[in-house]
């Protein structure tokens, strides 16, 4: 009762002298946003110099997603957002156009077992993909797991997890909505039916069959606890044996530690990689010899502050590492020998080594040369053995396959080229198209280029720009820019139906490669993490200023979008430089950086951001944390926050709290009176998995909003 009275009181206070009408573009009008009660909570933080800072959180109560008050808040915000969407004149047309780009046949990169190929396939009229097999490269596709029948609303998906060496036993996951968690199932390929065994819904990092197919090793992550590795005997009931749990060698395995598990292709070894944080500040690799009657865990590398990713051919262990090599190198590992003494096979290069794999007993190495993919081949001794020519500027992966395979697959796409999967014959070096997406998009009508600009501190930063050939540059055209800048993620010019739609309408599209990513190796990453996070934001603002100066667009026509860590980038954009943008879409965002680590898997990211719980980190985090820097009466651009109950990675409390602050600020005296909306999905989440129909709806709402508000 007291909360309801307070809400009414605050509503009157906001409207008094504030904005009575919210104005969108193209004649859209809204009443003031829903009134949200302020129930202040004050926290005290310690700083590095020993002083204390008090911080007030007025919407702490919105952190409780299940409370009746929060559910009522979500319903009110969705109703308010729908009032806006009902007035977007182009929305029906946007849905139709996006459906044409999204609802096309899709095929994933195949996994090879002998002469049989396993892959995911979705037909144009289907909401979800299914798992198929094909005998021979050009054989008939046979549906094994029907993903279209998992739920009535089409928002439950299946995903391929693994297949036995002989192709007889398949592992797949079932995911509800956009959640990270999946339930694990086992499928008898010959009998065309599931086994009775299942693993309950959870976060799994590797589900690996034993060579005799009598059991599986798996790693499961438990929020606020960490990873545990178990052995499950198929047909043996629900009692699983823990292989690696709460500690190793007296060192705790805790909340920030992810354990990946794999069984080597020859079935000899169980390999466990312990990643300390996301991104991992340290990776430990432990190995069991499964041929031993009572195998013991033996460290290949342990306690070294560097990243290690094993590449195994038979009984030979190679490692892709950044140890004394920020651009990465490949070394041959030896048990009982210090990693510093391991023999270098492929040395570090000026271009970052992004991925590597062993196929047909050769290394296939993907490097980024100024963020452009190059795929080169080496013998196991490190001798250059050729390259795979790629079609141009775009994104590619390394060759998939295993050491014993004689063939593999790689994919290539770009902002203006829909995905193509190529089959590669390792004996002849010949590439052939295995599958080409039939998207109704005229690639020849567009151009993609790369430019370089200078950031605030003088750093040279690359950026991709795409648009229709001949599109004018006089500052009057709309431009959409996206970015990320964190977690060692290299942002490539990959195909995206939303960006393709924007280009088709005659807008420019831009992607700057911000510090914090892996485009130039670990040095580039470190320049955008912890106390240097502001470099990421400054790179972003410099990109915007470059595009404005070069007359690609101007502030009122400038749209930006980002999700997850990119959502944090959006939060900084609206609070630090609101003058640069016309509209912002902020998806599944991190926004309250003082408290993010307390929710879901947030603490695993303290190896990237730090934690305000540490006095040494508080000051720099507080300085940029968006939620604490909303200023009443500021002229903010139009904003749509996008999140949902299905996000089990970044807690939706970030978007709920920030929406309330931003709405109050925009309608306060002196505010912008621009729309601030919360688009809250009850099914979607951080991961893929919602239906194509729902995806079209969500994408259309986003694109319709951004296009309308940058008129």
- If one looks up domain 20-98+442-708 in CATH, what number appears? 3.40.50.1820
C-alpha–C-alpha distance, residues 691 and 689, integer Å? 7
Backbone angles phi, psi at 233, to 5 degrees: -85, 120
Write out the two tokens for 15: 């409207």
C-alpha–C-alpha distance, residues 214 and 141, integer Å? 28
What residues are paired with 113 via a beta bridge? 116
113-349, CATH topology level: Methylamine Dehydrogenase; Chain H (2.130.10)
pLDDT at 10: 36
- Cα distances (Å, whole numbers) of residue 662 to 32, 302, 346, 672: 12, 47, 51, 11
Nearest CA among 317, 313, 285 for reference residue 301 = 285
C-alpha–C-alpha distance, residues 133 and 377, integer Å? 29
At what angle are helices 91-102 and 692-708 packed, to 10 degrees? 130
pLDDT at 18: 64
Write out the two tokens for 677: 């909306």
Q: Judge residue 1's burial from the number of C-beta atoms within 10 Å of its C-beta, 0-12 exposed, 13-18 middle, 19 or more buried.
A: exposed
pLDDT higher than 70, residue 80: yes
For the stretch 30-58, what's the b/e string if a residue is b when 16 or more beta carbons lie within 10 angstroms of its beta carbon? bebbbbbbbbeeeeebeeeeeeeeebebb
Mind listing the pLDDT tens digit for each residue in 313-369? 999 999 999 999 999 999 999 999 999 999 999 999 999 999 999 999 999 999 999
Write out the two tokens for 283: 């990776």
Q: Which residues are catalytic?
A: 564, 686
In the predicted model, what is the mean pLDDT of residues 286-303?
Answer: 96
Q: Residues near 532 by Cβ (< 8 Å), separated by ≥ 6?
A: 515, 526
Mind listing the pLDDT tens digit for each residue in 26-77? 999 999 999 999 999 999 999 999 999 999 999 999 999 999 999 999 999 9
pLDDT at 2: 34
C-alpha–C-alpha distance, residues 374 and 394, integer Å? 10
C-alpha–C-alpha distance, residues 366 and 301, integer Å? 24
pLDDT higher than 60, residue 692: yes
C-alpha–C-alpha distance, residues 170 and 290, integer Å? 21
C-alpha–C-alpha distance, residues 87 and 81, integer Å? 10
Dihedral of the alpha carbons of 456, 457, 459, 460, in degrees to the nearest 10: 30
Predicted confidence band of residue 682 (pLDDT cuts 50, 70, 90):
confident
Nearest CA among 632, 633, 631, 612 for reference residue 623 = 612
Nearest CA among 493, 529, 495 for reference residue 513 = 493
- Cα distances (Å, whole numbers) of residue 681 to 107, 658, 698: 27, 16, 9
Q: What angle do CA 516, 518, 523 make, to 5 degrees?
A: 70
Nearest CA among 483, 561, 507 for reference residue 711 = 507
Nearest CA among 638, 640, 637, 636 for reference residue 698 = 640
Element spanning 263, H or E = strand 257-263
pLDDT higher than 50, residue 9: no
pLDDT at 237: 78
C-alpha–C-alpha distance, residues 277 and 297, integer Å? 22
Please name the residue ranges forming H helices in 411-532: 497-504, 521-526
What residues are paired with 407 via a beta bridge? 425
Q: Residues near 553 by Cβ (< 8 Å), separated by ≥ 6?
A: 475, 476, 477, 478, 479, 508, 547
Neighbours of 337 (CB within 10 A): 13
Q: Among 96-100, 178-182, 637-641, where is mean pLDDT lowest?
A: 178-182
pLDDT higher than 90, residue 310: yes
What residues are paired with 362 via a beta bridge? 359, 379
C-alpha–C-alpha distance, residues 127 and 155, integer Å? 8
Cβ–Cβ under 8 Å, residues 100 and 686: no
In the predicted model, what is the mean pLDDT of residues 474-482?
Answer: 98
Mind listing the pLDDT tens digit for each residue in 505-548? 999 999 999 999 999 999 999 999 999 999 999 999 999 999 99
Mind listing the pLDDT tens digit for each residue in 228-284? 999 999 998 778 999 998 999 999 999 999 999 999 999 999 999 999 999 999 999
In the predicted model, what is the mean pLDDT of residues 141-162?
Answer: 95
Q: What angle do CA 548, 551, 555 make, to 5 degrees?
A: 40
Nearest CA among 459, 574, 560 for reference residue 508 = 560
C-alpha–C-alpha distance, residues 513 and 688, integer Å? 24
Write out the two tokens for 686: 């951080």
Q: Residues near 710 by Cβ (< 8 Å), separated by ≥ 6?
A: 25, 478, 556, 557, 558, 559, 582, 583
Mind listing the pLDDT tens digit for each residue in 561-600? 999 999 999 999 999 999 999 999 999 999 999 999 999 9
The whole-chain average pLDDT of the chain stands at 95
């Amino acid at each position: 009762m007291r909360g309801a009275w307070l809400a009414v009181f605050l509503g009157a206070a906001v409207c008094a002298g504030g904005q009575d009408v919210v104005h969108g573009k193209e004649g859209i009008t809204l009443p003031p946003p829903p009134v949200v009660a302020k129930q202040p909570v004050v926290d005290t933080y310690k700083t590095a110099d020993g002083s204390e800072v008090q911080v007030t959180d007025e919407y702490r109560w919105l952190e409780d997603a299940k409370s009746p008050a929060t559910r009522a808040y979500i319903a009110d915000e969705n109703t308010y957002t729908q009032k806006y969407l009902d007035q977007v004149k182009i929305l029906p047309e946007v849905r139709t156009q996006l459906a044409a780009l999204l609802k096309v046949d899709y095929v994933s990169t195949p996994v090879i077992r002998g002469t049989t190929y396993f892959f995911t396939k979705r037909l144009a009229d289907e909401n979800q993909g299914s798992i198929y097999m094909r005998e021979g490269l050009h054989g008939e596709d046979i549906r094994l797991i029907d993903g279209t029948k998992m739920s009535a609303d089409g928002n439950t998906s299946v995903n391929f997890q693994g297949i036995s060496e002989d192709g007889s036993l398949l592992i797949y996951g079932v995911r509800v909505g956009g959640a990270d968690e999946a339930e694990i199932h086992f499928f008898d390929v010959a009998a065309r039916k599931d086994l009775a065994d299942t693993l309950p819904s959870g976060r799994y990092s590797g589900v690996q069959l034993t060579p005799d197919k009598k059991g599986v090793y798996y790693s499961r992550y438990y929020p606020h606890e960490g990873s545990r590795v178990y052995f499950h005997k198929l047909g043996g009931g629900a009692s699983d044996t823990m292989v690696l749990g709460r500690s190793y060698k007296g060192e705790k395995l805790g909340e920030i530690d992810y354990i990946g598990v794999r069984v080597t292709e020859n079935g000899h070894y169980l390999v466990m990689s312990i990643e300390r944080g996301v991104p991992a500040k340290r990776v430990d690799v432990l190995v069991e010899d499964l041929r031993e009657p009572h195998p013991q865990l033996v460290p290949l590398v342990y306690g070294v502050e560097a990243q290690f990713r094993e590449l195994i051919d038979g009984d030979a262990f190679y490692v892709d590492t950044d140890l004394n090599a920020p651009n990465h190198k490949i070394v041959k590992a030896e048990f009982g020998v210090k990693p510093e003494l391991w023999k270098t096979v492929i040395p570090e290069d000026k271009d970052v080594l992004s991925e590597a794999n062993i196929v047909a007993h050769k290394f296939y190495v993907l490097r980024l040369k100024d963020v452009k993919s190059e795929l080169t081949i080496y013998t196991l001794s490190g001798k250059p053995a050729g390259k795979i020519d790629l079609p141009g500027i775009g994104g590619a992966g390394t060759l998939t396959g295993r050491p014993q395979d004689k063939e593999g697959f790689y994919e290539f796409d770009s902002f203006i080229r829909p995905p193509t999967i190529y089959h590669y014959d390792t004996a002849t070096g010949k590439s052939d198209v295995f599958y080409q997406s039939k998207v109704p998009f005229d690639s020849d009508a567009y151009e993609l280029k790369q430019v370089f600009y200078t950031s605030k501190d003088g750093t040279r930063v690359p950026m991709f720009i795409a648009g229709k050939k001949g599109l004018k540059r006089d500052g009057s055209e709309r431009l959409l820019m996206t970015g990320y800048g964190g977690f060692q993620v290299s942002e490539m010019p990959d195909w995206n139906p939303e960006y393709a739609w924007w280009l088709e309408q005659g807008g420019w599209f831009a992607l700057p490669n911000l510090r914090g990513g892996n485009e130039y190796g670990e040095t580039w990453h470190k320049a955008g993490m912890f106390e240097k996070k502001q470099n990421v934001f400054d790179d972003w603002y410099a990109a915007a200023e470059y595009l404005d100066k070069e007359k690609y667009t101007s502030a009122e026509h400038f749209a930006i979008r980002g999700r997850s860590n990119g959502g944090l980038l959006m939060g900084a954009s609206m609070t630090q430089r609101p003058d640069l943008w016309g509209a912002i879409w902020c998806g599944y965002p991190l926004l309250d950086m003082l408290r993010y680590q307390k929710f879901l898997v947030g603490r695993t990211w303290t190896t990237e951001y730090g934690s305000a719980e540490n006095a040494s980190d508080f000051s720099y985090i507080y300085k940029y944390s968006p939620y604490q820097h909303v200023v009443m009466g500021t002229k903010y651009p139009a904003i749509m926050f996008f999140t949902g109950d299905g996000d089990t990675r970044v807690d939706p409390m970030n978007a709920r709290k920030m929406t309330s602050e931003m709405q109050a600020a925009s309608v306060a005296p002196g505010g912008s009176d621009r729309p601030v909306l919360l688009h809250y999905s009850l099914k979607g989440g951080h991961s893929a998995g919602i239906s194509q129909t729902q995806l079209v709806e969500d994408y259309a709402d986003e694109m319709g909003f951004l296009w309308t508000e940058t008129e």
